[in-house]
Amino acid sequence: MKRRTFGALMAGVALTVGLAGASFAQDKPTMGVVVKIGGIPWFNAMEAGIKEQGEALGVDASMIGPTSADPALQVRAIEDLIAKGVDVIGVVPNDEAALEPVLEKARAAGIKVVAHEGPGLKNVDWDFELASAQGFGETHAKLLAEKMGGKGEYAVFVGSLTVPLHNAWADFAIAYLTANHPDMKLVGERYGVAESVDDSRKTALDLMAAHPELGGFLGFGSQGPIGAGRAIEEQRKVGSVHVIGPFSPGQGRDLVKSGAISGGFMWNPKEAGKVFVTMGKMLVDGTEITDGMDIPGLGPVTPDVENRDIITTNLVPINAETVDSLADMGL
């Protein structure tokens, strides 16, 4: 069994970013990276990293960002890349189980596969993570407990109930709060709305109406904190209801400054985009990834060879002191 250290469904028949209709240069290694969804700041930043590193390393690399969260469309995008005969496929999975057959097909065709946020995937050459699932979940839980004074009701948002990584983060966060802050009570189970600002906002409004004592939201999925923060501003509950979670600083800057989002942690999606291309080039070149190797964007690594996972710790806090500098980086 693979370790489940980490883990948004892919979307839209129309591909908003990347490879639709593109032709790859014949004299360069070719790579297509299929992400969860196109057109949101997190993956816009990742695309910038993919393009920048592709130019730096001489890799014809592009990103595909479907327009809605549908695992079948992520599968379709990968099928298209197999048909194009790319050298490397990268993927940020929404549903690991749905991708296993098509990734197995890609590898059978001789295509290298690199994943991110998919440590449970089996049909990959490598998966890389910039934080462990336990560390990421518990770090956010600790911040929520601090803001709520260790007591009160809270709710948890995830991108969807089938996104393994988001749900792993939620599992660790809830387990930490249950064990260390028994006066904090989870409302419901978890809500699969955190890849949509509108759905997160509406769910947050509904939960605050149904639970007047609700004191916090954990939003795992970059749109969850944004939607919940907007709901808190609308209800004038800034300071009494706290929102914690990862989000794009440029998108959430004003909400952080108003106090509607209390903070969160992230890794740099632009760096993750660069790592995709770096690792893809290494695989094409036949470079072996070994213990202690320093990989740009990851640092010195300790690869789990059996499970094909590389787990590192590269978290960045997002708060009133850091949000401007992070946003100014284009994140």
pLDDT at 20 over 90: no
Query: What superfamily in CATH does domain 30-131+268-314 come from?
Result: Response regulator (3.40.50.2300)
The stretch 210-228 carries a mean pLDDT of 97
The stretch 294-313 carries a mean pLDDT of 96
309 confidence band (pLDDT: 50, 70, 90):
very high
Structure confidence by residue, pLDDT tens digits, 149-203? 999 999 999 999 988 889 999 999 999 999 999 999 999 999 999 999 999 999 9
Predicted pLDDT of residue 329: 82
pLDDT at 18 over 70: no
**Distance between CA atoms of residues 218 and 245, nearest Å:** 6
Domains 30-131+268-314 and 133-266 belong to one CATH topology: yes
26 confidence band (pLDDT: 50, 70, 90):
low
Structure confidence by residue, pLDDT tens digits, 68-114? 778 898 999 999 999 999 999 999 998 999 999 999 999 999 999 99
Phi and psi dihedrals of 266, rounded to 5? -150, 165
If one compares 38 and 238, the residue with the highest pLDDT of the two is: 238
Predicted pLDDT of residue 68: 79
**Distance between CA atoms of residues 107 and 202, nearest Å:** 42
If one compares 44 and 283, the residue with the highest pLDDT of the two is: 283
Predicted pLDDT of residue 219: 98
Percent of the chain residues past pLDDT 70, beyond the cut: 92
The stretch 256-272 carries a mean pLDDT of 96
* Structural tokens at position 197: 């600002």
**Distance between CA atoms of residues 159 and 306, nearest Å:** 29
The stretch 286-314 carries a mean pLDDT of 96
Domain definitions of the chain by residue range: 30-131+268-314, 133-266
Predicted pLDDT of residue 24: 44
Contacts of 78 (CB under 8 A, 6+ apart): 34, 89, 91, 99, 102, 103, 106
Predicted pLDDT of residue 40: 84
Mean confidence (pLDDT) of the chain: 91
CATH 3.30.70.2700 fits 133-266, yes or no: no
* Strand blocks (E) in the chain: 30-34, 60-64, 88-91, 112-116, 126-129, 152-158, 184-186, 191-192, 214-220, 242-244, 264-266, 294-295, 299-300, 309-311, 316-318
